[in-house]
Amino acid sequence: MLLWINGPFGGGKTQTAHEIRRRLPGSVVCDPEHAGFGLHRMLPPELRGDFQDLVSWRQGVVEVLDLALAQRDGVVIAPMTVTNPVYFGETVGRLRELGHDVRHFTLLAERETVLRRLRERGFGHLVGRVAGKDTPLRRESWAVGQLDHCLERLREPEFAEHLWTDRTTVARTADRIAVLAGLTLAPNRDGALRGRLRRTTTSMRHIRFD
C-alpha cells in the first residue's frame, strides 16, 4: 500500500508521514521531493523552476515508488504536494494504473494556521541567528507565495480524501489516516514535551537552503 500525503507547503505532510512511519512497523517514507531537489542541483540556477514541470521528475517518482512497492511488504509513505491535475494523474494516477493500492490524503488548514506553521518550521528562529536573518526563510517565502493557490486547488474533489488539521495534533492526524486506510498504528506514548522535541528534530532534518 502507498499512502500519498498531499497538502500545502507547510501543511504538516512530512511530520505526519514520519509519525506514521514511527508507529507502523515495516513502513518506510519515500519522499518524492528528494528527487526534485536532486534534479535542481543538476541545473544552472537560472534554469531552476518548479521541478514538477520536469517529465523526468514525474516519471522518476513513479519508477522509484513502483519499485519500492513491488519489492517490499511494508507500507510506503510519500509526503508530496501536487496541485496540478495532469501531474497528479501522471504520478498518483499512474501508480494506480500499475495496480498499486494507493490511498491519497490531503491535509488542509486555514491560511493563518499554515502561515504559523511555516514560521515555526525548521526551528527557524535559531537557524536565523546562526546563518543570517533571512536564510531559513527563502523556501518558506516561496511556500507563502504558493499558499493561496494550493489551498484553493487542493479543496477540489479530485484531491480527496480531505483532512482538516487546524485543531488536531500530528499524532491524531496520523491516527485518522490509519483508520481510513485500514491500518493499525502502535499507541502514541509521547508526552507533550517529547512530541515537540521529536517534531523539531524531524523539521531540522528536512531544512534545505537551496
pLDDT of res. 12: 92
Q: What is the pTM of this model?
A: 0.86
pLDDT of res. 131: 44
Contact (CB, 8 A) for 77 and 30? yes
Contact (CB, 8 A) for 15 and 114? no
* Strand ranges for 40-96 from DSSP E: 76-79
Instruction: Compute the distance between CA of residue 56 and CA of residue 77 in angstroms, rounded to an integer.
Output: 21
pLDDT digits (tens, 9 = 90+) for 168-202: 999 999 999 999 999 999 999 887 777 777 766 66
Q: Please, what are the domains in the chain?
A: 2-205 (3.40.50.300)
Q: Tell me phi and psi for residue 201, to 5 degrees.
A: -60, -45
132: left (phi over 0), alpha (psi -120 to 50) or beta: left
pLDDT digits (tens, 9 = 90+) for 149-172: 999 999 999 999 999 999 999 999
Q: Tell me phi and psi for residue 27, to 5 degrees.
A: -85, 160
* Strand ranges for 35-161 from DSSP E: 76-79, 102-108
Q: DSSP 3-state assignment of 29?
A: strand
